[in-house]
């Protein structure tokens, strides 16, 4: 792909002395067309969808309908009604966990590399008698499909839901979702996929994955903050009790009774983030001009340079498989006897390189290994270049050499 041309679409990358932005697993940058779309909503038709019939109201209603269809297209969903707007993937997962009708003894299975957003909502169900089982990953953090199959068999008829991260924000490792879904469906379990780190970086087709539910956030795929999506099979979504009821969710209501509207309205309570939906449409319009496979390949190229350039340093361990192609655009680094927060600050001060340091909301994984401070994580997107990777390596090496000399 034309990476240089792609970069030109992002105002922060055109500024003089712009940073080397490698914090994309947290949030991507926004292109100018997204910024413009948000501004135009407030300046030209700041109104509500699905309520007012004047021209502003009708315009934003049409935008919501178009954007819902484009979200469905992005993940290969045939029925646009099965796409629910949410504030983010965290909200989507909470809607699933809190919206299902649980029975004491029901079992949920996750992996040991889940973001807290795909862990805590299931733990909160303990008060309803729901049991959470986690599948331990292999030594190199790849998914252990045999251990997963055993966990499903052990749960048997009690297995209700399997909820797995598609691509880990900790390490970029992809779980073989289609294979896991096949196993889980043999036990009649519902399978939810956390796609927050896959939908922005690779082609997604929920038909091929054969999952039942799929959550993702737009702020990780060039869109605005405050917009996410939950896709699900209509028969499942239609049974979820909304965690935010009222407003447009209601078909009828009296002092004694209420009835809910069909999906998607059923699960979209309250006023929508219409400016964000306008920005989402702009982001999807841009992404549709590219092959997501090219994005994935560019990110691996960048990651390969980063990984090979730093692994020789003493006290440095990259989380996950040695082969960078199995970690997508993520290079997550454990540092022996060094404060990752301080190193993160130095990366900015020394080389203008933006990375993330800490636990990355994967407390379970770090806690099981007694790692209190987390890791230093560099995460690429398609606008990152090989030169960005080399500057990352040079900056990291300069810091490591300086700290080593200081210790000496």
**Judgement on whether residues 276 and 299 belong to the same structural domain of the protein:** no
- 232 and 145, same domain (yes or no): yes
Res 408: pLDDT: 40
Instruction: Indicate the pLDDT class of residue 403, thresholds 50, 70 and 90.
Output: confident
From 202, 205, 206, select the one nearest 192 (Cα to Cα).
206
36 exposure class (CB count in 10 Å sphere: 0-12, 13-18, 19+): middle
Report angle CA 11, 17, 19 to the nearest 5 degrees. 70
Amino acid 406: pLDDT: 55
Please check whether residues 8 and 25 belong to one and the same domain. yes
On whether both 267 and 334 belong to a single domain, the answer is no
- CATH number of the domain that residue 203 is part of: 3.40.640.10
The strand pairing partners of 252, in sequence order, are 259
The answer on 162 and 22 residing in a single domain is no
Whether residue 173 is found in the same domain as residue 71: yes
Q: What mean pLDDT is reported for the chain?
A: 97
- Over the chain, what HEC string results? CCHHHHHCCCHHHCCCCCCEECECCCCCCCCHHHHHHHHHHHHHCCCCCCCCCCHHHHHHHHHHHHHHHHHHHHCCCCCHHHEEEECCHHHHHHHHHHHCCCCCCCEEEEECCCCHHHCHHHHHHHHHCCEEEEECCCCCCCCCHHHHHHHHHHHHHHEEEEEEECECCCCCCECCHHHHHHHHHHCCCEEEEECCCCCCCCCCCHHHHCCCEEEEEHHHCCCCCCCEEEEECHHHHCCCCCCCCCHHHEEEECCCCEEECCCCHHHCCCCCCHHHHHHHHHHHHHHCCCCHHHHHHHHHHHHHHHHHHHCCCCCEEECCCCCHHHCCCEEEEEECCCCHHHHHHHHHHHHCEECEEECCCCHHHHHHCCCCCCEEEEECCCCCCHHHHHHHHHHHHHHHHHHHHHHC
Taking residues 327-340, report their average pLDDT: 97
- pLDDT for residue 224: 98
Q: Domain limits at 145?
A: 34-287
Same domain, 315 and 385: yes
83 pairs with which residues across the strands? 231
Question: Helix 145-155 to helix 177-186 angle, to the nearest 10 degrees?
Answer: 20
**pLDDT tens column, 91-136:** 999 999 999 999 999 999 999 999 999 999 999 999 999 999 999 9
Q: Based on the fold, state whether residues 154 and 247 are members of the same structural domain.
A: yes
Count the Cβ atoms, other than its own, within 10 Å of residue 93.
27
Nearest to 91 by CA among 123, 121, 113: 121
Which residue, of 253, 269, 287, is where some domain finishes? 287
Residue 389 backbone zone (phi > 0: left; psi -120 to 50: alpha; other: beta): alpha
What is the rounded distance in angstroms from the CA atom of residue 190 to the CA atom of residue 161?
Answer: 5
Number of domains within the chain: 2
Residue that terminates a domain, selected from 253, 287, 321: 287
On whether the CB atoms of residues 395 and 350 are closer than 8 A, the answer is yes
| Lookup: tokens for 241 | 């009790």
CA distance 385 to 370: 35
**Residue 193 sits in the same domain as residue 270:** yes
Are 321 and 262 contained in the same domain?
A: no
Q: What is the pTM of this model?
A: 0.97
- Contact assessment for residue 219 and residue 28, using Cβ atoms and an 8 Å cutoff: yes
Rounded to whole angstroms, the Cα distance separating 360 from 338 reads 17
262 and 304 assigned to the same domain: no
- The answer on 262 and 146 residing in a single domain is yes
R_g of the chain, CA atoms, integer Å: 22
CATH of the domain at 19: 3.90.1150.10
For the segment 261-293, what is each residue's pLDDT rounded down to a tens digit?
A: 999 999 999 999 999 999 999 999 999 999 999
The pLDDT of residue 247: 84
Given 260, 287, 314, which residue is the final one in a domain?
Answer: 287
pLDDT at 405: 66
Residue 215, pLDDT above cutoff 50: yes
Residue 51 pLDDT grade (very low, low, confident, very high; cuts 50, 70, 90): confident
């Amino acid at each position: 792909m034309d990476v240089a041309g792609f970069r030109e679409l992002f105002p922060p990358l055109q500024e003089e002395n712009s940073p080397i932005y490698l914090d994309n697993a947290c949030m991507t940058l926004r292109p100018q067309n997204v910024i413009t779309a948000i501004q135009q909503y407030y300046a030209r038709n700041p109104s509500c969808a699905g309520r007012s019939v004047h021209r502003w109201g009708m315009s934003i209603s049409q935008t919501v309908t178009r954007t819902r269809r484009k979200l469905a297209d992005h993940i290969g969903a045939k029925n646009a009604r099965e796409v629910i707007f949410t504030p983010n993937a965290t909200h989507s997962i909470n809607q699933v966990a809190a919206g299902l009708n649980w029975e004491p003894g029901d079992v949920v299975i996750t992996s040991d590399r889940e973001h807290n957003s795909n862990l805590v909502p299931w733990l909160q169900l303990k008060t309803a008698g729901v049991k959470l089982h986690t599948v331990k990953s292999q030594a190199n953090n790849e998914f252990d499909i045999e251990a997963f199959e055993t966990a499903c068999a052990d749960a048997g008829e009690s297995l209700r839901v399997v909820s797995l991260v598609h691509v880990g924000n900790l390490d970029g490792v992809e779980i073989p979702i289609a294979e896991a879904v096949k196993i889980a469906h043999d036990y009649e379990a519902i399978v939810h996929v956390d796609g927050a780190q896959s939908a922005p970086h690779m082609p997604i087709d929920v038909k091929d994955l054969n999952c039942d539910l799929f959550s993702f956030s737009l702020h990780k795929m060039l869109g605005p903050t405050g917009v996410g999506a939950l896709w699900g099979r209509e028969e499942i979504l239609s049974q979820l009790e909304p965690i935010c009821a009222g407003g447009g969710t209601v078909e009828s209501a009296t002092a004694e009774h209420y009835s809910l509207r069909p999906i998607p309205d059923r699960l979209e309570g309250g006023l929508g983030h219409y400016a964000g939906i306008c920005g989402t449409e702009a982001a999807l319009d841009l992404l549709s001009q590219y092959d997501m496979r090219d994005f994935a390949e560019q990110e691996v190229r960048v990651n390969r340079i980063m990984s090979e350039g730093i692994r020789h340093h003493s006290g440095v361990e990259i989380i996950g498989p040695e082969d960078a192609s199995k970690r997508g655009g993520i290079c997550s680094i454990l540092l022996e006897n060094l404060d990752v927060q301080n190193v993160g600050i130095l990366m900015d001060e020394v080389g203008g390189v933006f990375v993330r340091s800490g636990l990355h909301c994967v407390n379970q994984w770090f806690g099981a290994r007694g790692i209190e401070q987390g890791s230093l994580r560099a995460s690429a997107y398609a606008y990152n270049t090989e030169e960005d990777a080399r500057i990352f390596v040079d900056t990291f090496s300069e810091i490591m050499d300086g700290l080593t000399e200081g210790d000496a």
